[in-house]
Amino acid sequence: MNPIKTYDQLVKENESLHWQLEEATDIIHAIRTGQIDALVVKKEDGHELYTLKTADQTYRVFIEKMNEGAVTLNNEGIILYCNSMFASMVNVPLSKVIGLSFDTFIPKECLEDYKDIFKKGWTQDGKFEISISSHESLIPCQLSVTTLELDEGVSLSIIITDLSYQKEIQRLLKLNNERLESMNAALEISNHDLQQFASVASHDLQEPLRKILIFSGLLKSRHMQELPEESLQYLEKIIASSGRMKTMIIDILTYSGLSVNDNHFEQIELNVVINEVLEDFEILINEKGATFEIGELPVVEVNKGQIRQVFQNLIGNALKFSKPDEPPVIRIEALAGDDNQSGFPSSYCRISVSDNGIGFDEKYGDKIFSLFQRLNTKDKYEGSGIGLAITKKILDKHNGIITASSRENIGSEFIVCLPYKQKTEEESDTEN
C-alpha cells in the first residue's frame, strides 16, 4: 500500500512536473525552430545520439515564421518537414503530418494534376493552383514549388498559399458583375421602352393639341365680339395653356432624344453658333431692347446641333428673365485659363454667359438643372422647366459641365466647361 503523501509533498511533486513540462515544451520548440541539431536520449543500456536532418537550421527558422504553409518533400513525396501553419491548414497535429505522403492531402479529382506538379517541380520552379483536403472540406491553394539543397540532399520545397479569401472575392466580383450586366441590360431595355413611349405619346398628344389650338383660334377670331368678357378670358387661358403644353411636348421629345447615342462631333466655331442663335431671337431681342457683348470664342469639337441648343437655352433664359424696367445686357465670353477654378485641365475651355436679369437665390443652384424644375410661376414666365435639364444632359454627353451663380435682382452667370477635343473610345478605355 502506497503511503499517503502530505500536502507539501504534493506541491513539490506538482512543481517538479511543471518544470519537466516546461522543459519538454522548450525542447520541442527548439527542435521545430532549428535551435537543436541533435538529441541525446538516455536508455537502460546507455545513451543514444539522434541527429536531426529533416532541414537545416536557417530554413526551419524561416518557414516556421511564415504565414503560409510550407512542406519539404523527398523524391518519393514524403513530408520530411512542415511548419505549424500547414498543420493548421489541414487540421492535423504537426507530429502526425511528418512522414506522410503529401498526396494524402490531395483530393482524388486533383491527384493527376498534383503528380504533374510534383514531376515538374524537380526540374523547374513554378506556381500552380490546386485544392488540398482539410477533413471534409477543400481549400483552394497556390503551390509555389522549388528545389532546395538541405542537409539530407536535394529536397522539394512547397509553399502553400490559401486562396480561399481571394477566390471568395473573385466569386463575389463575378456575381456582382453578372448582376450589374443583367441590371444594365434591363435598364437599357427600360430606357428604350421609355424613349419610345415618350416619343409616341408626345407625337400622339400633338395631334389633339393642334386641334385645340386651331379651333380655339378660330373661335376667338370669328366670335370674339359675340363672347362675353368672362368667356373670352377662359378662351385666352385655353390658348395659353395649350401653347405651354405644345412647348413642353417638344422639349420632352428633345430630352428623350438625347438618350440615343449620337456622338457625331466636329470642329465648330462657337462664335458662328452664337450668331445663328441671335438671328433666331432677332424679334425678341428688338422687343426687349437687349444688348449683347460677345468676345472671341474658341473652336471646339462638338455636336453642332446639340451645342446650338445649349446656347439657345441660355440666351433664351437671359432674355426671358430680364427685368421689366431695364433692358437686358448679356455678355458671352471665354474665360482666361488663369481664372479657371473649376478643376478642369487646360484641355478644357470655359464659356461664360452672364446677364443683368432678375437672378435667383443661389440655394436653388443645384435644382435648376433638374427636370421640370421652375423657380418662377408659369403665369409670369412661360416655359416647360426642361430647358436647363436639356442643357446639362447635352454637356454630359460632351464630357463637359455647367455651373450657375446668381444674385437676386442683380443677374446670373452660367459657365459652360467643354473639352477642346473629344476623346476617342480607345482613349477613354485607356484612362479607365
Distance of alpha carbon 333 from alpha carbon 257, whole angstroms: 29
Identify the three-state secondary structure at position 112: helix
Is the torsion defined by CA of 134, 137, 142, 143 positive or negative? positive
% of the chain exceeding 70 in pLDDT = 70
pLDDT at 332: 94
The overall pTM is greater than 0.75: no
How far, in Å, CA of 69 to CA of 86, rounded? Answer: 4
pLDDT in tens, 128-150: 998 988 877 888 999 999 888 76
Of the two residues 361 and 174, the one the predictor is more confident about is 174
Q: Where are the domains of the chain?
A: 51-162, 166-260, 263-432
Q: What is the pLDDT of residue 293?
A: 93
Q: Is the pLDDT of residue 88 over 80?
A: yes
Note the pLDDT of residue 311.
Answer: 92
**Dihedrals phi, psi of 220, to nearest 5 degrees:** -70, -45
CATH of domain 166-260: 1.10.287.130
pLDDT in tens, 19-33: 766 766 665 556 555
| Cβ(143)–Cβ(130) below 8 Å | yes
Give the model's confidence band at 379: pLDDT under 50 very low, under 70 low, under 90 confident, else very high. Answer: very low
Domain 51-162, classified CATH 3.90.550.10, yes or no: no
Class of domain 263-432: alpha beta
Strands 291-294 and 266-269: unpaired
CA distance 391 to 414: 11
pLDDT at 299 over 80: yes
